[in-house]
Structure 1
Amino acid sequence: MKRKLLGVIDATTYHDDLEDLLTHRSLAALPFAGRYRLIDFVLSNMVNSGIRSVAIFPKMQYRSLMDHLGSGKNWDLNRKRDGLFFFPSPIVDNDDNRIGSFDHFAANIDFFYRSTQEYSIIANSYTVFNTNFRSLLEWHIQSGCDITEIHHKDGHSMEMYLVKTSLLIKLIETRDVTGYSCMKDVVNDLHSLYTICHYDYSGYTMMIDSIQNYFSTSMNLLQSNVWKQLFLKEQPIYTKVKDEPPTKYVKGSSVQNAMIANGCIINGTVENSIVSRGVKIGKGTVIKNCIIMQKCQIEDNCYLDSVILDKDVKVEAGTHLTGSARSPFVIRKGTKQGALMNS
């Protein structure tokens, strides 16, 4: 398996509806579940499938993504042979959301020429799921497919494709002749010369493409049946490890049905919420149905319901912020929110 599958992650996608959370980062680097980033899921799936060579193709705002992944050590991808590779796009057009752009691949064609893996799995970076690609590869080979597109059980494409590396190279090299610009063009061509197959994946899957979708998916993690489908002991989701002290729960604080990461100080009440590392919640403050990202400070006597605070946000004492499940209140990274601003 180590020599059979090459991992290719397209991290170029930008969704306008997530703009408030993507001003300083790529979608792949969007924080999720308190201590992860969205890319952690597909990358961990690849590593758990025995893939030892993974190429990341980002486009814009990828500094935080590179900082998060580093050398790939936390995914056991910091190796002398193969490992983790970054290939930023030379194309600045931000309106192109095609997964697996052949122009982007062509700018780094030498990587594919040097690869020794017989097959390539091309995947997006924003799907929350947990699978092992070994079963997909076996099914693909037994079915005699040229290209396999992964579908969810509802019939929708998951924008992930399995193809022989040699065929991928051919598609890249002949893109100007065939008119194929990406993998989607190939699989959607009714007159394609290739055998196109659809593989149905029945496990839990969510593709994060909007604020509402991000919020609801995050809240669903607080249900044990959903959590158990995503975080499997035999197939762990890896992420960047940070050494921080345990969270301190001050006397009088109250926490119910919440995910609290390390390094926090909780003085108030937290219910049905996800709180990331290093967050400080003041005395008398109530947090309900919220996503609080890293190093936010929420002072005393605040009330937050259905709110998303991006990293490093400061909420001043006495502030009341209320959104809804369909339209959560979003505060951008590094800003200050006060009671007077909200009045």
Structure 2
Amino acid sequence: MFNQKVISIILGGGQGSRLYPLTESRSKPAVPIAGKYRLVDIPISNCINSEMKRMYVLTQFNSASLNKHIKNTYNFSFFSSAFVDVLAAEQTIQSGDWFQGTADAVRQSMHHFLQHDFEYALILSGDQLYQMDYNDMLNAHIESGADITVGTYPVNAKDATSFGILKTDENKAITSFIEKPSSDLLVDWKSEVSDDMKAQGREYLGSMGIYVFNKKLLIDLMNDKSTNDFGKEIIPQSIGKYKTVSFPFEGYWTDIGNIDSFFEANLGLTDEIPQFNLYDLNQRVYTNARILPTSKISGTTLNKAVIAEGCIIHAAMIEKSVIGIRSRIGRETTIINTYMMGSDLYESLEDIESRHIEILMGIGERCFIKNAIIDKNCRIGDDVRINGGRHLKDTETDSYCIKDGIVVVKKGATIPKGTII
């Protein structure tokens, strides 16, 4: 029996400009990760594993592929009241505007939530990588008699400047909060953390953007239309006014806000013991159950490679790379430090002959690809050389983008034979 006291609200985020070009034609929660999943699968799977199975995903940009993914993936029993619904920004009599922030997204969607009976709202971000049993947070919220509980994560001084940082008293009640403090202000914001965190220099409590609200308080706060954002306005304004408590989390957690962190999180899955564990049967990550054949690999040296199903690979070597579903890689090709997202379909021999396709979907022969993200359905011709790294300046063309030294080949792009990047 799942938890009937909770409604889960997953925030799809804004335009996702820092993850561009991966968000050029899809919303942030729909970005493919780990070769076969999408970002939104993480909070949804955490909710399912926590027996909190009434979920709304709020989005407003490029939501078609997200809708399709959720419709094809999360089908609960006809006799169950479990659901995952996507709510895109919509014009109503009360509001004709786009979502103006995280709190405004919840405010504009409130009439949908109130159709259900619940006591607590669990508010989550749609672009984070972690595994958490939300019951631990909910139970801590109830036991402390809190009005609001904020999930917190110890961060180091370098990262603290891009987080909302808070301080707590001995009962974990939040006493003060500062949004993205400059490094010279940090000296006063250290918190008591475990010895393990202290040894790593992670002594600042950062807000994870994960909240539990009591229903009545959430309704009251949403009636005040002067606030648009949880992190910047509602949480800081609630401290001292309502009982606002910290729930510290010390497992693996990363905020996938930009291309660099996205790249690191995916390549981290190739470690011998990855920090994000896809093999834990108690914390499964769910996704679209595609019926794909096994992968076929011929003459390839593999080292720290994660390979999804349905691939046909003849490469010479694949090292520290994630290869997504239905990927095709030609002979004598070397791939290092690369995330290849794969393809949405296979090209049949009939298609190739009748349409005279010169460059097949996937990566051709004798290519060298390093420090790259290859989005879905790309065509990379023979003898292409992509050598990403800090020596490359940030730039953008019709077919690829370079950010922080990482070459991102855009979705559906064609890179002609012999190209050197």
* TM-score, length of structure 1 as denominator length: 0.91
Shift of 1:87: 1.3
The match for 1:323 is 388
For residue 259 of structure 2, the aligned residue among 211, 224, 244 is 211
The match for 1:311 is 376
The match for 2:87 is 87
For residue 161 of structure 1, the aligned residue among 188, 197, 211 is 211
The match for 1:255 is 302
The match for 1:59 is 60
Q: Does residue 265 in structure 1 map to residue 265 in structure 2?
A: no
Question: Which protein shows a greater Rg?
Answer: 2
Secondary structure of the structure 2 residue equivalent to 1:34: coil
What is the one-letter code of the residue matched to 1:321? Answer: I
Shift of 1:79: 5.7
Uncovered stretches (5+) of structure 1, i.e. residues with no partner: none
Shift of 1:340: 4.8
Shift of 1:281: 0.4
Distance in 2 (alpha carbons) for counterparts of 1:191 and 1:218: 36
Instruction: Give a deviation string over 1:179-202, Cα, whole Å, max 9, x none.
Output: 332322221126652111111110
State whether residues 372 and 386 of structure 2, in contact with CA within 8 Å, keep that contact through their aligned partners in structure 1. Answer: yes
Shift of 1:109: 2.6
Shift of 1:225: 2.5
Q: Which runs of 4+ in 1 moved over 6 A?
A: none
Q: Does residue 283 in structure 1 map to residue 331 in structure 2?
A: yes
**CA separation of 1:235/1:77 partners in 2, compared to 1, >3 Å: closer, same or farther?**
farther
Shift of 1:71: 5.8
State whether residues 238 and 244 of structure 2, in contact with CA within 8 Å, keep that contact through their aligned partners in structure 1. Answer: no
What is the one-letter code of the residue matched to 1:261? Answer: A
What is the one-letter code of the residue matched to 2:86? Answer: F
Shift of 1:339: 4.0
* TM-score, length of structure 2 as denominator length: 0.75
Distance in 2 (alpha carbons) for counterparts of 1:79 and 1:212: 43
Larger deviation: 219-228 or 41-50? 219-228
The match for 1:111 is 112
Shift of 1:221: 1.2
Kindly report the root-mean-square deviation, in angstroms, between the aligned alpha carbons of the 2 structures.
2.1
Trace 1:295-306 onto structure 2 (pairs within 5 A): 295=343, 296-306=361-371
What is the one-letter code of the residue matched to 1:120? Answer: A
Shift of 1:293: 1.0
Instruction: Give a deviation string over 1:95-126, Cα, whole Å, max 9, x none.
Output: x5x33x23x33333322222212111001100
Distance in 1 (alpha carbons) for counterparts of 2:247 and 2:254: 17
What is the one-letter code of the residue matched to 1:327? Answer: G
The match for 1:146 is 147
State whether residues 27 and 126 of structure 1, in contact with CA within 8 Å, keep that contact through their aligned partners in structure 2. Answer: yes
The match for 1:338 is 416
Distance in 2 (alpha carbons) for counterparts of 1:310 and 1:193: 47
The match for 2:234 is 186
State whether residues 248 and 265 of structure 1, in contact with CA within 8 Å, keep that contact through their aligned partners in structure 2. Answer: yes
Uncovered stretches (5+) of structure 2, i.e. residues with no partner: 91-95, 156-204, 344-360, 391-403
The match for 1:202 is 250
**CA separation of 1:78/1:131 partners in 2, compared to 1, >3 Å: closer, same or farther?**
farther
Distance in 2 (alpha carbons) for counterparts of 1:107 and 1:214: 30
State whether residues 258 and 274 of structure 1, in contact with CA within 8 Å, keep that contact through their aligned partners in structure 2. Answer: yes
Secondary structure of the structure 1 residue equivalent to 2:21: helix
